[in-house]
Amino acid sequence: MGEFAIRLFVLSLLLFVFGAFSALCFNRRTKWANVLAHCSSFLGGLFGATTAALVLSTKQPIIVTAWTIVSDVVLRLKVDMLSAYFLFVISFITIAVSIYSLGYVTEYYGKKPIGLLGSGLNLFVLSMIAVVTVDHSVSFLIAWELMSLLSFFLVMVEHEKAETRKAGYVYVVMTHFGTVFIILSFLTLFFFTKKLDFSSFTQTATRFPDYVKNIIFLLSLIGFGTKAGMIPLHVWLPRAHPAAPSHVSALMSAVMIKTAIYGLLRVNYDFLKGGATWWGAVVLGIGVLSAVLGILFGVAENDIKRFLAFSSAENIGIIFMGLGASLLFRSYHEPLLGALALTALLYHVLNHAVFKGLLFMGAGSVLYATHTKNINELGGLIRRMPWTAVLFLIGGMSLAAFPPLNGFMSEWATFQSLLHLSFSLDHPIWKTVGGLLAAALGLTGAFVAGSVVKHFGTAFLALPRTSHAAKATEVPLAMRIGMVVLACGTVVFGVWPGLVLGMTNQIVESYFHQSVTGRAMLYIPFHRSVESISLGWMGMIFLALFLLLIALLRVLVGKSNNRYDETWNCGTPLVQTMEYTGTSYSHPVLMIFKRLYGIERKVEVHGEYAYYPKRIRHRLKTEAIIETKLYRPLILGTVWLSQRLRAIQSGNLQSYLAYMIITLVVLLLWIR
Amino acid sequence: MFLQIAIVILLAPFIQGVIKKTKARMQNRIGPSIWQPYYDVIKFMKKDAVLSHHSSWLSIVTPYIVFVSIVTAGLFIPTYTVNNDWNFIGDVILVVYLFGVARFFTALTALDAGGSFGGMGSSREMALSAIAEPALLLALFAVCLSSGTMKLSDLVVSLLHNGWDWFTPSYGLAFFAMLIVVIAETGRIPVDNPDTHLELTMVHEGMLLEYSGRYLGLMMWAAQIKQLLLLSLFIHLFFPWGIAASGDASQIILSFLLYVAKLVALSMLLAFIETMYAKIRLFKVPKLLGSSMILSLMAILLRVFE
């Protein structure tokens, strides 16, 4: 079995490599490049997902030695349980995205080199797989850097737009800011183990003194947190994701930010095996901040993709809440609860990947059909793009965690972990905080629902607001199939949690020696009570009642006689400009949380009498408060410091030579 | 299961009738008959419907989805018995999210016809519900904290067993916190006015503006059922005494009568509050819900440090 899994895994990797090179070779022949690149990434994803499933079901890690450079430096890929789970997530999303891309890149025919784009996509997926499977810190950092750079190139595909260039710049700066901290955390590990490979970290890191563990935890949290997009290090997310082509943003948002979660789990669970109580508290705090602020910023957005990017920050917040709770329970020696929280976070990693991938593809479809992402220019797409509308609605419902879709399951598990902070821990602080955190999660959920209504309602319902929207047509079949795959995922992972729990349980068991399993039901036997949830059952009851209601009404009263007429509009004919826009939809929220948005509102009334204005101009300016209050001072400070440092750059060759000599002398004295 | 569903569905218009009648009497009116909501529902089911040209299939499906999600949520709330047959499926979080589904589709379809009133109602509803949801969860949590479960039937059993002490301060605080939330969630004064048809003040009714015939009937009925369920939740969290925990027939009948009596009393209280107060401004509502959250928080703190 192991042999077979290894072969499958190698085949999957080779397929990505093949896809990358063949697409490059056929760069001139766009259609060939498209088909070759995306078919091989599809197959690669398929084999990758199978490998992961095999590894997780047989519980036997596989090791592939790819390249022995010298006897000591070996590029080795090791798929253990944690890697296999993330490999599954990456591969599953890649399958759907590859099908979708077959249709989506036709948009770029004649405008962009398709071969390069396809090759970049394959290499990007390959680098992500490398990130989650290598077992050596140097190769990890190389893979990490490759992943960052490749995604940067993919973000820059539409580089002729100034906005995209700026987004790419912010992304590349932020991602390297994060990488610095990751390097530092690995260096700290190296400093104390004198080894660079993960297995020696795993063996020795538990024996580190506490302060070292704390340092490693903080460094990894900042480093990986930047990539994950936790607030306040999220600034690149809402820029880079909208700028990238939609199939790339689907991959970036659904999968790439999850590699950071992998890194955090690897460092904090695998190497350090958990730590002090305050770790959990810090992660929980960041989680709550990211979740609430992420969605509050998201509500105000009128650009679908920007909203989805903010919602990614929010979902990372939910994942962090699970992680924080899990670390906390671990430090309090509550293995069952820790296992539940870890399950919740792993489950949410997959779920978020599935529905966020679906939603980004849906947004991409809207963009493909109408060439705009601004919902205020859309409307009425449900008639012209029925498939996209239904699929986007499913994704949106899953995002808002509505039963019976998958988003609900992991959110429920997170709720339970947070509530049991207070039900099971005896510390008065946790007793209070648990409920507050659960309420914050509820607040987040309600805001997500509101913003999904806003985006779906404005873009897909009622009358088209511009001619782009009026002329839209349904997207090609390949794009629809890609979305259908993930839409099925949202339903299946919701009503049959056993599929996911079977996978997560291997990881959870290895850290907590407790299992959280279930088939059609997520079931947790607590000390005092038994908590369980079954969306399959709920769905069946729902369906039965639904059919019963329709049948009863039909039998008892007969068919409803429907007549069609104008919308009620106080007796005047309805025109598009009277519809509620996205801006007006989120206005109440903006007014309630005025301080957070730094709103500047201007109403200009033109005309002789104020009561009979000829024209009213209403302007609402919101301010990205984190950027102005936190980043601007930092940037200004950095610029100021750099300008001071320029004093030593006189441009004089002699003085540069003098610097070198001084450095050399100092070094010699120091090393002596 | 069927009895529970049937009772929830059939009792809901009665409670609405009681509230309306009480309100009318307090305002020195005779008011419509207590059975009027039943006549309304039957009438709406029979009537033809007028739909907008601009609306899509969502407008037709939504009333069914809303009705069924609320009825499904009713399975997990204790009514005349402790009712733990469906316990394994879900808990109060599922109930909150099923109400969420109903609200989501209502708000979504309000935008379907393209009129501004629907949009306005929808946007206000989603903004207010975002504040109401954490308030509801906190108030629930304040009660759940001592029993350590979110399953309502287990919770009621443990409340029955331990018994809340009427004179515990945390009990009183949680009571008022929950009362505010129940008023907000049922869309009653001072948060929303269920009787208004003045366009600028509507929230929930604004979203139903484009419905007619059977669809309107289902939406209104669903709203009544949701109201009944929230009242039942409130009753069982704070006055669970007398609820039948076993399957003895005479006990169940007694428990049912007691349940109806409690419902009637609570709905009269709601009608009383509604007569005493005026609707508050929209942007004051978050403050009201905020005060509910503060009350819950105080209740929790008192519980924790007792």
Give me the pLDDT at residue A274, please.
85
B72:A538 CB<8 A: yes
CA A435 to chain centre: 26
B111:A461 CB<8 A: yes
Give me the pLDDT at residue A573, please.
85
List CB contacts of A206: < 8 A, sequence separation 6 or more. Answer: A272, A273
Give me the pLDDT at residue A620, please.
76
Most confident of A386-400, A571-585, B118-132: A386-400
The H-or-E segment that residue A533 falls in is strand A530-533
Name every chain B residue with its beta carbon within 8 A of the beta carbon of A557. 45-46, 214
ipTM of the predicted structure?
0.95
Give me the pLDDT at residue A453, please.
95
Give me the pLDDT at residue A396, please.
96
Among B164, B118, B272, which residue's Cα sits nearest to residue A462?
B118
Beta pairing, strands A562-565 & B49-52: parallel
- pLDDT tens digits for A601-633? 788 888 777 777 888 887 777 777 788 888 889
Residues of chain A with pLDDT > 70, as a percent, come to: 99
pLDDT of A26 > 70? The answer is yes
Give me the pLDDT at residue A528, please.
65
pLDDT of B277 > 80? The answer is yes
Q: How confident is the model at residue A526 (pLDDT cuts 50, 70, 90)?
A: low
Average pLDDT (A223-239) is: 92
Which one has a higher pLDDT value, A443 or B166?
Answer: A443
The minimum CA-CA distance between A497 and chain B, rounded to whole Å, is 13
Give me the pLDDT at residue A527, please.
64
Residues of chain A with pLDDT > 90, as a percent, come to: 65
The residue type at A208: F
Residues facing residue A531 across a β-bridge? A524
Give me the pLDDT at residue A600, please.
79
CA distance linking residue A125 with residue A121, whole number of Å: 6
Name every chain B residue with its beta carbon within 8 A of the beta carbon of A559. none
- pLDDT tens digits for B35-69? 999 999 999 999 999 999 889 999 999 999 999 99
* Structure token pair of residue B12: 């809901």
pLDDT of A329 > 90? The answer is yes
| Nearest-by-CA chain A residue for B306 | A428
Cβ(A475)–Cβ(A368) below 8 Å: yes
* A112 phi-psi bin (left φ>0, alpha ψ -120 to 50, beta other): beta
Name every chain B residue with its beta carbon within 8 A of the beta carbon of A380. 54
Average pLDDT (B80-109) is: 88
Give me the pLDDT at residue A121, please.
95
Q: How confident is the model at residue A1 (pLDDT cuts 50, 70, 90)?
A: low
pLDDT of A101 > 90? The answer is yes
Give me the pLDDT at residue B167, please.
67
Give me the pLDDT at residue A427, please.
86
Average pLDDT (A111-123) is: 92
* A295 phi-psi bin (left φ>0, alpha ψ -120 to 50, beta other): alpha
This prediction has a pTM of 0.94
Q: How confident is the model at residue B83 (pLDDT cuts 50, 70, 90)?
A: low
Q: How confident is the model at residue B241 (pLDDT cuts 50, 70, 90)?
A: confident
The residue type at A481: I
Q: How confident is the model at residue B246 (pLDDT cuts 50, 70, 90)?
A: low
Report the b/e string of B235-273 with b at 16+ CB within 10 A.
Answer: bbbbbbeebbbeeeeeebeebbebbbebbeebbbebbee
Name every chain A residue with its beta carbon within 8 A of the beta carbon of B282. 588
Name every chain B residue with its beta carbon within 8 A of the beta carbon of A390. none
The minimum CA-CA distance between B30 and chain A, rounded to whole Å, is 32
Q: How confident is the model at residue A597 (pLDDT cuts 50, 70, 90)?
A: confident
- pLDDT tens digits for B132-158? 999 999 999 988 887 778 888 888 888
Give me the pLDDT at residue A216, please.
94
pLDDT of A232 > 90? The answer is no
The minimum CA-CA distance between B279 and chain A, rounded to whole Å, is 17
B145:A431 CB<8 A: yes
- pLDDT tens digits for A259-315? 999 999 999 999 998 888 999 999 999 999 999 999 999 998 999 999 999 999 999
Average pLDDT (A396-424) is: 92
Segment among A131-135, A461-465, A627-631, B293-297 with least mean pLDDT: A627-631
pLDDT of B164 > 70? The answer is no
